[in-house]
Structure 1
Amino acid sequence: MAQLTRIHPTSVSLLEVLSMSVEALWSNRLRTGLTMLGVIIGIASVITVTSVGQGVQKATEQQIQALGTNVILVLTGVARTGGGISQGAGTASTVTWEDAQAIAKQAPAAQGVTAYLQRGVQVVYQGENNSTSLLGTDLNYPNVKNIHPKEGQFFSQDDLNAARPVAVLGSTVRNELFGENGTAIGAQIRVQSELYNVIGVMESKGSVGGQDQDDRIYVPLTNMSARIVGNNSLNGVAISGFWVQAKDAAGLDAAQFQVTNLLRIRHNIYPPQQDDFRITNQADIISAFSNIVGLFTVMVSAIAGISLVVGGIGIANIMLVSVVERTREIGVRKAVGATNSAVLSQFLTEAVMVSIAGGALGIGLGVGIAFGAATLFSFPFVISVWSIVAGFGLSFVIGLVAGVIPARNAAQLDPITALRSE
């Protein structure tokens, strides 16, 4: 009788495991690609969402900071009907230019104060007729609001004292009336029924909160009050509000406290009477917006995380199907000496490789989409290191977790039973 040779289990090196895994995945390219798709979409979504969210947040912070993070805005009160119904913000002429001047003199924390009066108007130049915002203000506006003339000059103290009809255009108004290459300085424009001489064009500040900061015309407050609005309060020149500049962001609370108390004294307001003015803090606006964007980013990232879970389930399903399809192959390998650990290692390696490859492609796709969005919508392109690291980490964990059960099933197959399968 021929003597039977006993086949001893043989160990397989890591390089051999990787080689066999790559060969198995490459021979089933379509299945491998479909398996990776869920991971690619999930990782790309996480990268894109976090990048776009951070970019939008940074762009908005830059825009608000360009207008000043160390300023507070004091607005007029709200007029109410006899039934107590609010008529909207700014409907009551409760704040005056004299209030702003008093704050500038008596509030130690106020480094600068500028008053303004704002209305929507029609502006005409030759054949162009556009709607814009007219802003009557004083000489402190450029420094307090951190915006200065790019061409020409801002109006002078003599212009303010004499209520001269001079105007400084925002860049949007200038482009609409004169074109980007047109000459605005020295031209005459008609605002409502009044003629104004253009003496300057302001630098561009872009949009904040959907409002174009360059779509406005600046004129002396005295001129606008007398010739455009024509309504003064009993206590002085009525204004829409005034900006108060503190030394830095840390001094905003002190400035707000001082302004509130001084205005209450000037307006004879005592508890429990309500204030006839409103104060808005720029730092609070930035903080609130950052919180909103952060919550939105977390919410959408959670949705993207669900995509990753779905991708992991897809990997597990495909690997389980692969075990069934390759039952005979597994039987042959175990019959010629492959150990349970070798089979386990190969199937686990295949799952991890599929997941890591999908994660790498997802990261590349996510970065590309984020860059395209930043370029298209003109906000900063921000990619955080943690999102890249998290992408690779999630890819590895998903492959590891999704491949455990299929790999274990493959390793536990009885070689005789596996060889009998068709």
Structure 2
Amino acid sequence: MAVETLWSNRIRSGLTMLGVIIGISSVIAITSIGQGVQKSTESSISALGTNILTVSAASARTGGISQGAGSASTLTWEDAQAIAKQVPAATAVTAFLQRPNIQVVRGNVNIATTVIGTDLNYPAVRNVQPQLGTFFRQQDLDIAKPVAILGSKVRDDLFATSENPIGADIRIRGNRYSVMGVMETKGSVGAQDADDIIYIPLTNMSAEIVGNNSLTGTSINGFVVQSSNADQLEAAQFQVTNVLRLRHNIRPPKEDDFRVTNQADLIKTFTDITGSLTLMVGAIAGISLVVGGIGIANIMLVSVMERTREIGLRKAVGATSGAILNQFLMESIVISSIGGGIGIGLGIALAFATATIFKFPFVVSLLSVVVGFVLSLIVGVLAGGIPARNAAKLDPILALRGD
């Protein structure tokens, strides 16, 4: 009877469902998109290694404004080498000296990219290997040889698809470099595109590109420490901090001139932030469910007024107040249930389309679908409760006299 009644007023029923459809689809789509983005970023960060510490130099300040971690010259290559020898929890250490927006030219192609000077341990520690050619060797590092390994995006920008870049020459800030290899594709991690990078020997980077050796050794932006597993990170962090404080003669209350970042903590922090944002936005989207519930309540109240004579007739032939209550309550639940079902399908479709367009994992949890459907039922019960109660309380004689 509830379905027949709603079908006889299809347009009104459809408009009534609209609020529930929008609310449920928004909650499911936003939850799915948030989980997909979170999973994609976690995978990208994990691909660079989860059992690592990143040690950055202090922040330089210009006019009282911090220029970001690694901008001051407080760490040296010798610091990184000391950590490799003196920290038992460290299985490998790789130093890096980088500069963004460096001009790179090949023929008539001119691009700006990030150039990183590093050592032989970088591929193993950062979990990135050449997919074409090789990484530079110890002898290249020893003599500061002008050789380069390209990120996959840099390779695509500088060379034609059918062209082999190995052995070709490029110019970095006017200096000629020979291409030795091309790194495998890693994708973006936050604002950093791991494929838009050129790798050169640290010795060459220091001498030719940066040219700012410190008084006590080769200045670097930082280094990455790899432990045997994630459980050793805290021990490695404690040992690294103590060794650097001794080397830099730092004693309390003097502040450290370096910063140690735990990759596992970074992943957890990011997961917590994205989870909170997804929950907040999902809650905001849930407001439309309240609007949808108000719409159902309004329509049901109007329906009670329009069907006063029908209610009176049903009561006159023996319908109880409970039967009338159930009739109108069932109509409200059917509206919200159908709207919830359509909303779930629409939300999943929107999430799938977004994941396909922006290329991140498509994730729909069963919990979000179940919660969405349960919410639609709750909205139906709450929105239909008062109108159904009003209908059940009508006096049959007065109802039969109603217009």
TM-score normalised by length of structure 1: 0.92
CA-CA distance at 1:179 after TM superposition = 3.3
Specify which of 80, 85, 105 is matched with residue 105 of structure 1: 85
CA-CA distance at 1:385 after TM superposition = 1.0
Q: Which residue in 1 is equivalent to 2:303? A: 322
Specify which of 172, 175, 178 is matched with residue 197 of structure 1: 178
Q: Which residue in 2 is equivalent to 1:14? A: none
Specify which of 155, 159, 165 is matched with residue 178 of structure 1: 159
CA-CA distance at 1:37 after TM superposition = 0.8
Specify which of 65, 70, 77 is matched with residue 90 of structure 1: 70
Q: Which residue in 2 is equivalent to 1:337? A: 318
CA-CA distance at 1:88 after TM superposition = 4.5
Q: Does residue 114 of the first structure (1) align with residue 100 of the second (2)?
A: no
Q: Which residue in 2 is equivalent to 1:28? A: 9
Q: Which residue in 2 is equivalent to 1:241? A: 222
CA-CA distance at 1:247 after TM superposition = 1.3
Q: Report the 3-state secondary structure (helix = DSSP H, G, I; strand = E; otherwise coil) of the residue aligned with 1:134.
A: strand
Q: Does residue 66 of the first structure (1) align with residue 47 of the second (2)?
A: yes
CA-CA distance at 1:80 after TM superposition = 4.9
Contact 2:32 2:364 in 1 (8 A): yes
Q: 1-side partners of 2:337 and 2:65: how far apart?
A: 61
CA-CA distance at 1:378 after TM superposition = 1.1
Deviations 1:278-300 (A, max 9, x none): 21221222122112112211211
Specify which of 41, 47, 50 is matched with residue 28 of structure 2: 47
Question: Highest Rg: 1 or 2?
Answer: 1
Q: 1-side partners of 2:341 and 2:67: how far apart?
A: 57
Q: Which residue in 2 is equivalent to 1:421? A: 402
Cα pair distance change 1:329/1:79, threshold 3 Å: closer
Q: Report the 3-state secondary structure (helix = DSSP H, G, I; strand = E; otherwise coil) of the residue aligned with 1:273.
A: coil
Q: 2-side partners of 1:125 and 1:411: how far apart?
A: 83
Amino acid of the residue matched to residue 32 of structure 1? Answer: S
Deviations 1:124-175 (A, max 9, x none): 0011000011111111000000000011111111211121111100001000
Cα pair distance change 1:383/1:84, threshold 3 Å: closer
Q: Does residue 154 of the first structure (1) align with residue 135 of the second (2)?
A: yes
Q: Does residue 300 of the first structure (1) align with residue 314 of the second (2)?
A: no
Amino acid of the residue matched to residue 299 of structure 1? Answer: M
Q: 2-side partners of 1:164 and 1:126: how far apart?
A: 22
CA-CA distance at 1:412 after TM superposition = 2.1
Deviations 1:392-419 (A, max 9, x none): 1111111112112211221222222222
Contact 2:72 2:221 in 1 (8 A): no
Q: Report the 3-state secondary structure (helix = DSSP H, G, I; strand = E; otherwise coil) of the residue aligned with 1:287.
A: helix
Q: 2-side partners of 1:398 and 1:372: how far apart?
A: 28
**Aligned pairs (5 A) from 1:362-381:** 362-381=343-362
Q: Report the 3-state secondary structure (helix = DSSP H, G, I; strand = E; otherwise coil) of the residue aligned with 1:197.
A: strand
Q: 1-side partners of 2:312 and 2:161: how far apart?
A: 77
Q: Report the 3-state secondary structure (helix = DSSP H, G, I; strand = E; otherwise coil) of the residue aligned with 1:278.
A: strand
Q: Which residue in 2 is equivalent to 1:12? A: none
Specify which of 109, 122, 138 is matched with residue 119 of structure 2: 138
Specify which of 343, 351, 366 is matched with residue 332 of structure 2: 351
Specify which of 243, 246, 260 is matched with residue 265 of structure 1: 246
Q: 2-side partners of 1:207 and 1:344: how far apart?
A: 58
Q: 2-side partners of 1:163 and 1:300: how far apart?
A: 52
Count of residue pairs the alignment pairs up: 402
Identity %: 66
CA-CA distance at 1:77 after TM superposition = 1.9
Q: Which residue in 2 is equivalent to 1:361? A: 342
**Aligned pairs (5 A) from 1:374-393:** 374-393=355-374
Q: Which residue in 2 is equivalent to 1:208? A: 189
Cα pair distance change 1:334/1:79, threshold 3 Å: closer
CA-CA distance at 1:58 after TM superposition = 0.8
Q: 2-side partners of 1:87 and 1:39: how far apart?
A: 49
Amino acid of the residue matched to residue 164 of structure 2? Answer: T
Q: Report the 3-state secondary structure (helix = DSSP H, G, I; strand = E; otherwise coil) of the residue aligned with 2:29.
A: helix
Q: 2-side partners of 1:85 and 1:421: how far apart?
A: 76
* Unmatched 5+ stretches in structure 1: 1-19
Q: Which residue in 2 is equivalent to 1:6? A: none
CA-CA distance at 1:266 after TM superposition = 1.1
Q: What value does the CA root-mean-square deviation take over the aligned residues?
A: 1.5
Cα pair distance change 1:87/1:206, threshold 3 Å: closer
Poorly superposed stretches of 4+, deviation over 4 Å? 83-88
Cα pair distance change 1:36/1:80, threshold 3 Å: closer
Q: 2-side partners of 1:29 and 1:233: how far apart?
A: 78
Amino acid of the residue matched to residue 246 of structure 2? Answer: I
Contact 2:58 2:73 in 1 (8 A): yes
Q: 1-side partners of 2:334 and 2:153: how far apart?
A: 54
Q: Does residue 395 of the first structure (1) align with residue 376 of the second (2)?
A: yes
Amino acid of the residue matched to residue 169 of structure 1? Answer: L
TM-score normalised by length of structure 2: 0.96
Q: 2-side partners of 1:181 and 1:85: how far apart?
A: 47
Q: Does residue 128 of the first structure (1) align with residue 109 of the second (2)?
A: yes
Cα pair distance change 1:87/1:59, threshold 3 Å: closer
Amino acid of the residue matched to residue 265 of structure 1? Answer: L
**Structure 1 range deviating more: 122-131 or 311-320:** 311-320
